[in-house]
Structure 1
Amino acid sequence: MRKQRTLSFPGSLALAVLTSAVLAACGGGGDGGTPATQATTASGGTAGATGTTGNTGNTGSSDPAAKPTSVVSPACSGCGAVDANTYAGSGVGVWQNINATASAVEMPVSIAGLTGQDVTLVFTNQTGTAQTMPTIPLTASYYPNVAASEVRWRNGVEEAKRRISDFNHTGWVAKAGSRTGSPSASMIGAPTRSVVNDTRVFYHEDNSARPATLVRQDTASDGTVINFWVETAENMTGKVTPAIVNTLAAGFSPTGKIYDMLKSVGGPLWGAHGYSELISGTGQPIDIVILNFDQDGTPFGMIGYFYSRNAVKSDPTENPYGNDSVSLYLDAETLYLGGPEGMKSMLLTMAHEGMHMQNFYRRGVVAGPTKQFDTWLEEASAMMMEDFASQSIEPTYNAIRDVRFPNYIGYKAGSYNCNLLDWTAFGATCDSYSVSGSLGGFLDRQLGLTFYKGLLANVSSTDSVVVLDNAIRAVAPTSSLGEQLRRFAATSGALMKAPSPGGFGFPARSEGGFVLPVIDPQQQLPSRTLTQAVPATLQPYASLPVVRKAVTGTYSETVKVPAGSTLSVVIQ
């Protein structure tokens, strides 16, 4: 993993003033300068279920009308947050304060006007370093007996995916040969064009040889040939039928479908390059190859992949299992044993794996290997492509809404406190697909298509955190990754009701021919999991929600916030 920088914390003047007040009380320091060591005092009390409890940090003024100290300020406009001390009594209110120092800071909060609403405290680490998590009472926790945490991959899937991902990221470089000073259209002649019913052998990612038949051939709007190959043993009635292939082709090849969508957001999937040992950049078809991946009579598991070794020229010594092909691979059993859900997943898998193919060419081959995304952002970008493509390909299915965000909420004890940068798919405690996918879906809806296109093309740094931050600032100059993370965390941690205040939530969005469906976090309430114990650390770019149920009157609590982290208070 490349070294990651710590993000800056831009915010409103009000936030800066309130943060300064906390720092002054604790011994100095300031946002943007060298963080000072913090001195803290003990909290005077914690929130109960109703009313005001404990010493809430009053200033000690003799003025009976003086409001108690509350160092959070409204983070939304036209919402339920009236001022630092007042909730409107209905709707969603969001307050925040940033601890931009190197030590934990106590933040008194006192907000009046509640009539039985839930209060969610959301801690968001906006640094690339795990921060010590102070203790805090857990007055509400929930751990359902059956949740999305039961999602699993079969043995070997994660190993295969990681092997492919590692090769796509760095392994190909050693096999690609010398690189000329500028891209050329072809290092060798154009490939021989296949015709329907031709047969050939494709090597699966496990190096097994799979004879396959070309069953359909389309031409995309730009003239690129799209070949659909089916493993010969799967090309029969009851398995991969012509109807199945035709459905896949209808989602990928025609004008305006997946192939055109990919080109419209990120450019060519393959073309000119300067590497002596990569296949020609001239006239390459896109091969979609349907193989029975693991031959276990069960759908799902690994259902698709793009493997860049197939774009390296085959060689008996250097690359004996290359397929001399720009190709995507789909699992046959998921297509004919997975039912309607299997086909929905597979259609969007072509968009997902197509983005991996395009990223490899655009960022790796053309821009250079050091400009490729790290895995967490590579996978996020592919899931974001699924998100944008979904309603044009399969209007009843959106992977972020229907899979990634539910898993983010419900996987194990929830994937809130999972390191964004440490890729762990369906691990013991974290599912990185759900983390990166959910954040990507939030950014799609908040920042839109221009942001996404800019992210794909942004080669401003070799650090993926910096690239994402720069892509955000390019479309929202006063924002940052830090701000978007804390808004995402507040939305997800509180399961914020829709419609959410501006800048929060997963609102529907339509632009440039792409439609993003609304995601209502409240629908995940039955499968939500909350921490059963305060973790030792708040992970890099991660969050942690803590809920106070059904508060009446004034919510009052002094909350200790980790270094480099934001406290968000959501009342709804």
Structure 2
Amino acid sequence: MNKNISLPVICLASLLILARCGADPTATDAAYSLIRVTPENLTSTNTYTDTYGTGYEYYMLDTAQDVNLEYTLDIGPSMKDVYFIFTNIDPYSETSSPTIHKKNQPESPAAGPDPAHDLKPTAIDLNKSPITSKIEVAEFNRDPFSFLNKLNPVSRLLNIVPSPEQRSDNADDAGVFYDYDAKKKAFITVKATCRKVVTDGRMTLNIWVADDCWAETGSKSILVTQEMVDTTAEKFLRSGADNDIYDWVTNIYGQPWGGHASPELIANEKYNNSITILLNDIDNDDASGGVLGYFWAKDNFIRKYFPYSNERIMFYLDAILLAKGDNPAAWNVTDSMPSQVISTLSHEFQHMIHFYQKTVLRTNGIGSEIWIDEMCSLATEDLVADKLQVNGPRGIFYNDPSTGQPNNRDGRLPLYNCFNEYSVTRWYGGDWSCVSYAVNFALGAYLARNFGGAAFFRDVVQNGFTDYNAVEYALARRGSQDGFSTILRKWAVSNLLSNKIDLLLNDSYKYNNSTAGFTNSIGSIKYKLGSINLYNYEYALAGNPHAGPYIYTSIPRNPLQPASNIYFKAGTSLAGKQSWSIRMDRNVRMSVVVKDPP
């Protein structure tokens, strides 16, 4: 069994903490000296010495200033691989990459690009890594009232459309919706027909399909049938308790709409416990890849304040992607793309609830930073995947709680492995938003498996913070004293230990619980999460398969991105006493992982 050993600290200038796990309890405690270092005096050094014990180990070195670090690791007689992880703990600013020199070796050349880095993909396969929102939508949802203030008041008055008459939808009703064409950069109208109305208790679901996407009238290359509509409706809302997306997700986060004090928003009476889904060809591109769907808070506003509001609590799904089966002659909801669209139902529903519970009720109109909102939605997909009977972002069969098979290229984690040095808090644009989804799913999956699953993410949403403090609030509610910077570091160590199953459950480093997976509950509803071994996920470098987290063999010149980790292999099959000189900026923290060679 692994043990945590708290090592004594000799503090001559500032406090440092060195955490160890998996050490031999009889090993000599680490001894190191510290000299204060300033940017003007970078010839001074901090010196650390660690003694390697048994099994694998990880160490965290906490510095709080610009340093030249002399680091010595006594590995002992057995051959081990040594990894350094460098974390930029600043959530919003880049910082210089560290420089590393192995002692008793020729001076290394100046830091440069890693040879394998040039082989990383330069384009994203949207069929493997679909997008679940538009940046225009995400930015609006982040700060909707500032968008209203930017509208030209004269233009708004000239183009104002009266609010639609309040009435219930009925099957075969015809109507017109407002959507946005990202390619035209303009709002458009979508003619649609109501194809399904479902009521369960006080809740009603209305599904509308764009006329040009409907099987009997449409002109698109792939068309939506009544079977597809019925299946979508059944997944989201059906008779009975605790058996659909509506029940599972509201049990975590709360209601999607209700009372409020904002005159700009549609009244609770108009909401009337009714949710609308519009199936249309998003961006009118007749394409079989791209944006799966989105929730856009513009529709929660009355038209007096936003002329292109549909004045509904609603979200959008791409009709082409829902209809794209693996076999054109026999559509099934378990097919690759339809199952991703069904998973997106839970993703977008979280966004809908997040807007009401966070932006409307708790933060006076300022929404969560995009990465927070998206991480919650990705975690929601993960939490309900087995219930929906879809594989979800983990990319493993929904009924398999194990880590699955090697060479897995499904789900979000292959892309994360490839681009694991990217920022958590910086949202990337265009197709590269897929990398942001991958990074934030990986972090959310770690948080869910270590800090209470569904209850943790409920606490992220139901508080008054819109940035990383929302995560720290949820951590505190779960009994953790870790701050966001510590979580970034523990998460990084967990990446390299994800092929281990003997970690302590309460150790905050666990991705992998073997075939048991992870179970958590809110009330009477249980949520199951499968295990993750990042070494089972494979991506391509110049067409050649590469499995596991991407690990640099030389530190690139590029700065460390905000709230990011970069992984460096400090040595392969090392033994005995090893030393390195490392120069780090004040916002960089170093962690060390020692493992048996693969």
Give the shorter-chain TM-score range. 0.7 to 0.9
Counterpart of 2:213 in structure 1 is: 234
Tell me whether 1:477 sits opposite 2:455 in the alignment.
no
Counterpart of 2:471 (choices 451, 458, 468) is 468
Distance 1:169 1:331, change over 3 A: same
Tell me how far apart the structure 2 counterparts of residues 251 and 148 of structure 1 sit (CA, whole Å): 35
Comparing 125-134 and 441-450, the one that deviates more: 125-134
Report the AA paired with residue 311 of structure 1: N
Counterpart of 1:109 (choices 72, 89, 109) is 72
Distance 1:114 1:230, change over 3 A: farther
Tell me whether 1:529 sits opposite 2:518 in the alignment.
no
Please list every run of 5 or more consecutive structure 1 residues that lacks an aligned counterpart in the other structure: 1-10, 30-34, 44-56, 58-68, 71-83, 177-187
Residues 276-287 of structure 1 mapped to structure 2, 5 A cutoff: 276-282=263-269, 283-287=272-276
Counterpart of 2:520 (choices 503, 511, 516) is 511
Report the AA paired with residue 309 of structure 2: G
Distance 1:105 1:146, change over 3 A: closer
Residues 250-289 of structure 1 mapped to structure 2, 5 A cutoff: 250-254=234-238, 255-256=241-242, 257-282=244-269, 283-289=272-278
Report the AA paired with residue 135 of structure 1: T
Counterpart of 1:169 in structure 2 is: 142
Q: Aligned-pair distance for 1:398?
A: 3.2
Counterpart of 1:54 in structure 2 is: none
Q: Is the 8 A contact 2:199 2:205 kept in 1?
A: yes
Tell me how far apart the structure 1 counterparts of residues 344 and 99 of structure 2 sit (CA, whole Å): 42
Q: Aligned-pair distance for 1:117?
A: 3.5
Distance 1:146 1:239, change over 3 A: farther
Report the AA paired with residue 557 of structure 1: S
Counterpart of 2:588 in structure 1 is: 565
Tell me how far apart the structure 1 counterparts of residues 569 and 503 of structure 2 sit (CA, whole Å): 20
Deviations 1:427-476 (A, max 9, x none): 679922222221111101110232211111011x45x1222222212213
Tell me how far apart the structure 2 counterparts of residues 158 and 336 of structure 1 sit (CA, whole Å): 17
Tell me whether 1:456 sits opposite 2:491 in the alignment.
no
Report the AA paired with residue 361 of structure 2: V
Distance 1:16 1:393, change over 3 A: farther
Tell me how far apart the structure 1 counterparts of residues 176 and 45 of structure 2 sit (CA, whole Å): 70
Tell me whether 1:210 sits opposite 2:190 in the alignment.
yes
Q: Is the 8 A contact 2:51 2:75 kept in 1?
A: yes
Distance 1:277 1:472, change over 3 A: same
Counterpart of 1:126 in structure 2 is: 89
Tell me how far apart the structure 2 counterparts of residues 422 and 396 of structure 1 sit (CA, whole Å): 27
Tell me whether 1:374 sits opposite 2:369 in the alignment.
yes
Report the AA paired with residue 236 of structure 1: A
Distance 1:504 1:160, change over 3 A: closer
Q: Aligned-pair distance for 1:285?
A: 0.9
Matched residue of 1:193: which SS? coil
Comparing 333-342 and 266-275, the one that deviates more: 333-342
Tell me how far apart the structure 2 counterparts of residues 167 and 211 of structure 1 sit (CA, whole Å): 24
Deviations 1:86-108 (A, max 9, x none): 231x4x32222111x22124041
Q: Aligned-pair distance for 1:166?
A: 1.8
Tell me whether 1:293 sits opposite 2:282 in the alignment.
yes
Counterpart of 2:227 in structure 1 is: 243
Counterpart of 1:344 (choices 339, 347, 350) is 339
Tell me how far apart the structure 2 counterparts of residues 534 and 549 of structure 1 sit (CA, whole Å): 17
TM-score computed with the length of structure 2 as normaliser: 0.74
Counterpart of 1:365 in structure 2 is: 360
Tell me how far apart the structure 2 counterparts of residues 239 and 165 of structure 1 sit (CA, whole Å): 28
Report the AA paired with residue 447 of structure 2: L
TM-score computed with the length of structure 1 as normaliser: 0.77
Matched residue of 1:551: which SS? strand
Q: Aligned-pair distance for 1:309?
A: 1.1
Deviations 1:273-314 (A, max 9, x none): 122232221214100110011343322201101111111122
Report the AA paired with residue 232 of structure 2: L
Deviations 1:145-166 (A, max 9, x none): 9867642559xx9998121112
Report the AA paired with residue 280 of structure 1: A
Counterpart of 1:544 in structure 2 is: 566
Q: Is the 8 A contact 1:300 1:338 kept in 2?
A: no
Tell me how far apart the structure 1 counterparts of residues 434 and 204 of structure 2 sit (CA, whole Å): 40
Distance 1:105 1:343, change over 3 A: same
Counterpart of 1:435 in structure 2 is: 439
Tell me how far apart the structure 1 counterparts of residues 248 and 280 of structure 2 sit (CA, whole Å): 25
Q: Aligned-pair distance for 1:357?
A: 0.8
Distance 1:17 1:438, change over 3 A: farther
Tell me how far apart the structure 2 counterparts of residues 484 and 500 of structure 1 sit (CA, whole Å): 20
Q: Aligned-pair distance for 1:393?
A: 0.8
Distance 1:382 1:303, change over 3 A: same
Tell me how far apart the structure 1 counterparts of residues 82 and 32 of structure 2 sit (CA, whole Å): 27
Q: Is the 8 A contact 1:388 1:514 kept in 2?
A: yes
Q: Name the count of aligned residue pairs.
A: 495
Counterpart of 1:97 (choices 61, 81, 104) is 61
Matched residue of 1:94: which SS? strand
Matched residue of 2:283: which SS? coil
Tell me whether 1:328 sits opposite 2:315 in the alignment.
yes
Matched residue of 1:251: which SS? helix
Distance 1:440 1:535, change over 3 A: farther
Matched residue of 1:321: which SS? coil
Tell me how far apart the structure 2 counterparts of residues 159 and 420 of structure 1 sit (CA, whole Å): 17
Distance 1:374 1:356, change over 3 A: same
Matched residue of 1:362: which SS? helix
Counterpart of 2:51 in structure 1 is: 85
Question: Could you say which structure has the greater relative contact order, defined with CA pairs below 8 angstroms and 6 or more residues apart?
Answer: 1
Residues 379-418 of structure 1 mapped to structure 2, 5 A cutoff: 379-399=374-394, 402-410=410-418, 414-416=419-421, 418=422
Matched residue of 1:325: which SS? coil
Tell me how far apart the structure 1 counterparts of residues 411 and 209 of structure 2 sit (CA, whole Å): 28
Please list every run of 5 or more consecutive structure 2 residues that lacks an aligned counterpart in the other structure: 19-30, 103-107, 150-162, 182-186, 217-221, 327-334, 397-409, 539-545
Distance 1:369 1:431, change over 3 A: farther
Report the AA paired with residue 213 of structure 2: E
Counterpart of 2:202 (choices 212, 223, 236) is 223
Deviations 1:215-242 (A, max 9, x none): 111124x521011111122221662112
Tell me how far apart the structure 2 counterparts of residues 547 and 377 of structure 1 sit (CA, whole Å): 30
Tell me whether 1:191 sits opposite 2:163 in the alignment.
no
Q: Aligned-pair distance for 1:539?
A: 2.4
Distance 1:276 1:301, change over 3 A: same
Q: Is the 8 A contact 2:340 2:390 kept in 1?
A: no
Could you tell me the percent identity over the aligned residues?
A: 20
Comparing 195-204 and 105-114, the one that deviates more: 105-114
Distance 1:439 1:160, change over 3 A: closer
